[in-house]
Structure 1
Amino acid sequence: MDKLGALNMFVATAEHGSFSRAAEQLGKTPSALTKAVSHLEAELGARLFERSTRRTVLTEAGRVYLETARQVLQRLHEVGEEIGQLQHGLHGNLRITAPLAFGRAFLDQVCASFLAQYPQIRLQVDLCDAFVDLVESGYDLALREGRSDLPGLIARVVGQNRIALCASPAYLERQPQPLTPDGIDEHDWLMYQHPALGRGVWWVEHAGQRIGVPHPRAPRLESDNYDLLLAAALAGCGVLHTPLWSAAPYLADGRLVRLMTEYEIDPDAFGPQILAVYPSHRRATGKVVAFIDYLQEFLGSRGIA
């Protein structure tokens, strides 16, 4: 019996919960899958499925075996792809997940130029602010803010998450009062809502002293969508507490102006770094390394790395 073929049939049966549906997906007969799984069970000395006329359910041994079987098949696929890349250059699919705000800030440009440089790579980029379990989801790479101390993951720092207070020239013309820690409520504020962010104070450092700056009492605009707030800031609606990785191009072309520049603002609850994270049980393949290197170089060119 072909062991790898049997593993593939076992995984397909577990994922579909049915020998017949898995057989249809693989283009084989149900009896071929039943025989392959029975061979694995005989080799292991344990049942992998509880079978009945109505359902096929993994046993406890089957659940343990499934995790390793998936890793074996995934790793063999990756090794085959790596060998192909040694012969024919970088190619294949690369699945990435990242926060929504990264898309407009830099990831759209990074992806477009990366694809131009590597024409044989296909990207799937899913932007989502919800936490994604990389081990279970099948993504090759996640971009995140902050820290990554979760087991089973490898994190590489690609940029810094420094914070700035910014407003447009139009807003500052309308509201010329200087922004100071004691005059927060004299300005219109655009506030990002997120469960990880507190509502108490921003911590800043000035002349060697650490100061707590209270949040605005009555923001002019609040939203859980950062891009909406950024658009409002560019339109002159108020002051935005924003990461520099987002504000950098607008500061460079003058559409935003940085305020309270003599104060160093602590990173927010998301943490001080931009990270590229991938599962430790998968070696960093050539295409993953190439994308991380490309991203780090791009952020470095913006002064963010």
Structure 2
Amino acid sequence: MDNYSQMLAFVWATEHGNFSAAARANGLTPSAISKLITRLEDRLQVRLFQRGTRTLTLTEEGSAYLLSARAVINAMAEADSLAEAFPDRVSGSLRVHTMTTFAKHQILPWLPEFLATYPGLTVDVQVGPQYVDLFDQGLDVAIHSGSLPDSSRIARKIGESAWVTCASPEYLARRGTPAQPEDLLDHDCFNFGFHSAWNTWQFVDGEGEGAIITLPIAPKAVFGQGDLLREMALSGAGIVKLAQFHIGEDIRQGRLIPLLTEFSLPGKEPIYLIYSNRKHLSPRIRVFRDFLEKRLKDNPWG
């Protein structure tokens, strides 16, 4: 068991950045943490950290060992969870990657209840605008929308969301409401600042028997994060195109007005819960999935 204690001390030190913080968080002394890690390095015959005055930096060997150590610790936690029949005994660390706007508007509202339901579980929510396969680096779950690359991962559809062209009532009162998609070319529009299909503004041509037209939108400004686009629209600065799961409440409250709905493309963009291709889904992933799907069912954004 001493080997496992050494491994735990190493992971704690990595997560907290130094021995003192790791010790405080886990009810030990800094010297106890230091001794455990020294024994680990002696046993492995490698240096895992470059030790600074106040911080620790992983060596190349330390970075490689961290992946294996986390896998072992999570496996131990999963084994304990599988042996228990009660949900509140689900334990371990759950690492989630999703879009910033989805995390803010569709996960954070119920996350406190989820953590209270499973007090033995810790959650690490990482955000980014697009899907990146980080499962080999310890990721448990990803939540992303749109087309996904072919892979051996499991993608479970948990919902779908339309893209909505919209603006605030104040902007429309000042500049007028576009009647045709081409009218957008004479308006102030804002877009994402990175290469993405989300930057393509497409509509059904009302006079072309359903043909799709793509507008060459020249944005007045671009942003790397969807909430900044939302704030620009809410401020009355101009027109944006954002996901329904992001701005559904703004539309219900009348803060944003959908535009050109009769020209909208049919269908919606799928949203997927993605996890590794494993025969037995870990308890921590299973309870997170079930919690998420129930909340999305109870609180539709459309």
TM-score using structure 1 length: 0.69
| 2:139 maps to amino acid | Y
2:204 counterpart residue number: 204
Of 251, 269, 272, the match for 2:269: 272
* AA matched with 1:212: I
Q: Distance in 1 between matches of 2:223 and 2:103?
A: 18
Q: Distance in 2 between matches of 1:126 and 1:91?
A: 19
Q: Does the Cα contact within 8 Å between 2:74 and 2:92 map onto a contact in 1?
A: no
> Which residues of 2 match residues 29-44 of structure 1 at below 5 A?
33=43
Structure 1 pair 29/73, CA: closer, same or farther in 2 (3 Å)?
Answer: closer
CA contact (8 A) 2:88 2:118 kept: no
What one-letter code is carried by the residue in structure 2 that aligns with 1:214? L
2:185 match: secondary structure: helix
**Distance across 2 between alignment mates of 1:73 and 1:282:** 19
What is the RMSD of the two structures over their aligned residues, measured on CA atoms? Answer: 3.9
Q: Which residue of 2 aligns with 1:232?
A: 232
Distance 1:292 1:87 in 2: 14
Whether the aligned pair in 2 keeps the contact of 1:152 and 1:281 (CA below 8 Å) is no
Per-residue CA distance 1:198-234 (angstroms, 9 max, x = gap): 8665243759613213132x32332222211110101
Alignment-derived partner of residue 52 in structure 1 = none
After TM superposition, give the deviation of residue 252 of structure 1 in Å.
1.0
Whole-angstrom CA distance in 2 between matches of 1:113 and 1:208: 49
Distance 2:184 2:122 in 1: 47
Q: CA–CA distance in 2 between the matches of 1:103 and 1:126?
A: 9
Moved more, 272-281 or 294-303: 294-303
- How far apart, CA to CA, are the structure 2 residues paired with 1:27 and 1:163? 54
Compute the displacement of 1:179 (Å).
Answer: 3.5
Report SS of the residue matched to 1:232: helix
Comparing 116-125 with 223-232, greater Cα deviation is found at 116-125
- CA deviations 1:77-129 (Å, max 9, x no partner) are 42233223548543332221112222333222132332244344322212223
Q: Secondary structure at the match of 1:237?
A: coil
What secondary structure is seen at the aligned counterpart in 2 of 1:109? coil
> What's the CA shift for 1:243?
0.8
Determine the structure 1 residue equivalent to 2:182. 182
Question: Residue 296 of structure 1 corresponds to which residue in structure 2?
Answer: 293
TM-aligned CA deviation for residue 298 of structure 1: 2.3
Letter of the 2:213 counterpart: G
Task: State the secondary structure of the residue aligned to 2:104.
Answer: helix
Task: Confirm or deny: 8 A CA contact 2:167 2:257 kept in the other structure.
Answer: yes
- Mapped contact 1:160–1:304 kept (Cα < 8 A): no
For 1:153-200, what per-residue CA distance to the aligned partner results, in whole angstroms no more than 9, with x for missing partners? Answer: 111111213111111111111122334123121222121222223866
Q: What letter matches 1:289 in structure 2?
A: R
Gaps spanning 5+ residues in structure 2: where? 15-33, 47-59
Where do 5+ consecutive residues of structure 1 fail to align? 17-22, 38-48, 50-56
Question: What's the CA shift for 1:27?
Answer: 6.5
Q: Which amino acid aligns with 1:273?
A: P
Structure 2 counterpart of 1:255: 255
User: In the aligned structure 2, how far is the partner of 1:130 from the partner of 1:257?
Assistant: 26
Check the 8 A contact 1:95/1:124 in 2, yes or no. yes
**d(CA) in 1 for partners of 2:247, 2:179:** 18
- Distance in 1 (CA, whole Å) between partners of 2:240 and 2:225 is 13
Work out whether residues 97 and 126 of structure 1, in 8 Å CA contact, stay in contact via their aligned partners in 2. Answer: yes
Of structures 1 and 2, the larger Rg is shown by 1
Match of 1:215 in 2: 216
Identity over the aligned pairs, expressed in percent?
Answer: 23
Q: Which moved more, 1:238-247 or 1:277-286?
A: 277-286
CA distance in 1, matches of 2:138, 2:211: 43
